[in-house]
A and B are shown apart, each in its own frame.
Chain A
Amino acid sequence: MTNFLTILFDGVAYGMLLFVLASGLAVTLGLMNFVNLAHGAFAAFGGYVCAVLVNRSGVPFFVALPLAFAAAALAGVVAERTLFRHLYRRSELEQVLFTIGFVFMAVAATDYVMGSSQVFINLPDVLQGQIDLFGVGIGRYRLMIIVICGLLTLAIQGTLARTRFGARLRAAVDDPRVASGLGINVPQVFAFTFAFGCGLAGLGGALGAEILGLDPYFPLKFLIYFLIVVTVGGSSTITGPFMAALVLGIADVAGKYYVPKLGAFVIYALMIVILIWRPHGLFGRTVAR
């Protein structure tokens, strides 16, 4: 029982981390219809920025996290303005090719600059070890992930649903031609959203380095996970990807624990079943938009 609860807890932490990592992709893919397979590159970038700041420059971990967000968001702006925006009107295959090419360039560049071995971020003492909660061992680091990612999830949801910016973004997605005819600078709204999604990925990469492992191949290794979160969750809401990320996180942790040799099999079998059973995603609308 204790074991089961610990696994559940780890799975939830893992799932929430996946959500923060993938939420930017959910927005670019679901709202802006741009297939950005290079999303993980911004996550890795944030992770490396955090590692360098903490390990080499002695910046405190909790200061390095927002800096990782900012660095990845900035990288996102530059990439969007110079490269990706040319792809918005292209076919999905061209977007896939372009962004996959970008991933391989990012992997090679990271390897060249940072080396190929896995990077660990030196964590402060408060985040190490476990605390005991009702007899269940709770990792401090994972607890922090749940708190931070939970708050971020609420912030994302609130921004989309309740702010003027969120309404302008939804308007721009619903009908870009009319939105711009009514005074909304659609490309600017999209660029800002893209940058924010990249920033979240960068923060996720920094938070996840400890759990997921950070090496140059990170953007490729976790690409499938991001895509599962987005496609299984459906892209019409942000709640869908959130639930999908939780299910994926728990299933992955449980699968690796109970049937280590079949871990990956379980995940992909689940994904295939859901995609056949609910073509618009587990929580997607059943009517195509």
Chain B
Amino acid sequence: MRDLLVIEELRAGYGEAVVLPRFSLNVAQGEVLALLGRNGTGKTTLINSIVGATRRFAGRLALDGRDITRLRPDQRARAGIGWVPQERNIFRSLTVEENMSAVAQPGEWDIAKVYELFPRLEERRRNFGNQLSGGEQQMLAIGRALVLNPKVLLLDEPTEGLAPIIVDELLAALRRVTRVGATCAIIVEQNARKILGLADRVVILERGGIVHEGPSAPLRADPSVLERFLGVSGGAGTPRDPA
């Protein structure tokens, strides 16, 4: 499979602080990558660096063969990066439908298809962003990224803080989304167990670097790697690394 997203020797952070010292990663077309790691290990920083919302000190990024290193965030979004931010960041003075129509780009995904995926959003289409439950906000954040018709979907802890029944609904939807089209996805999770079934490959971060990388299937059978790097076997809320 051809590499859709290529990150080469990326050095990035905020202000003077370097969070990712020297990061390289390739994601292939159609691949679903689970990005795991404890609190504060740099998962969000990596996602934001792909979006273009951090400070880049060195390195380069390419999307579908095109160098996007010097593109602004809005140009990267139009080039094919679909961002679901960790805080969801639904535009609160826009309705559910406007949250999508304001950013939509032509392609396979349109608002009607998102409503098929999340019927709840259609019921609430005229509600404003600040009138939604946490689960609805997350559905909308995903729908909003889908109507960008991205080549790479970036999901930053999509199940964080949601009730188990909503989590199952979301994961089922994500399974449908990631199995179609020529896209690829990076899903950040604290709770590894929940997405091992969804991911093709697993990358574990620690202090801004990759400490484990490999296919997800063996981890399903033998979670000792997860135990070693994430504390418990994929449990949520592991304490911060004291080092």
Contact = CB atoms under 8 A, between A and B. Distances in A.
Interface of A: 164, 167-168, 170-171, 173-175, 177-186
Shortest 3 CB-CB contacts between residues of A and residues of B: A183-B77, A167-B102, A178-B89
A289 to B, nearest CB: 9
Contacts of B85: 178, 181
A33 to B, nearest CB: 15
A248 to B, nearest CB: 26
Interface string B66-99: 0000001110111000010100010111100011
B94 A182 contact: no
A179 to B, nearest CB: 7
Contacts of A182: 74, 77, 83, 103, 144-145, 148
Contacts, number: 67
A186 B94 contact: no
Nearest to A175: B89
B105 A171 contact: no
B83 A168 contact: no
A185 B73 CA distance: 9
A185 B78 CA distance: 10
Contacts of B148: 182-183
A170 B74 contact: no
B53 interface: yes
A95 B77 CA distance: 32
Interface residues of B, number: 26
A75 B92 CA distance: 33
Contacts of B233: none
Nearest to A171: B91
Contacts of A186: 74
B73 A181 contact: yes
A167 B74 contact: no
Nearest to B87: A178
B13 interface: no
A210 B94 CA distance: 40
20 contacts: A164-B101, A167-B98, A170-B94, A174-B91, A174-B92, A177-B53, A180-B73, A180-B77, A181-B51, A181-B77, A182-B74, A182-B77, A182-B83, A182-B144, A182-B148, A183-B74, A183-B77, A184-B74, A185-B72, A185-B74
Given A168-B102, A182-B103, A184-B74, A175 B53 contact: no
B26 to A, nearest CB: 22
A178 B144 CA distance: 11
A181 B150 CA distance: 12
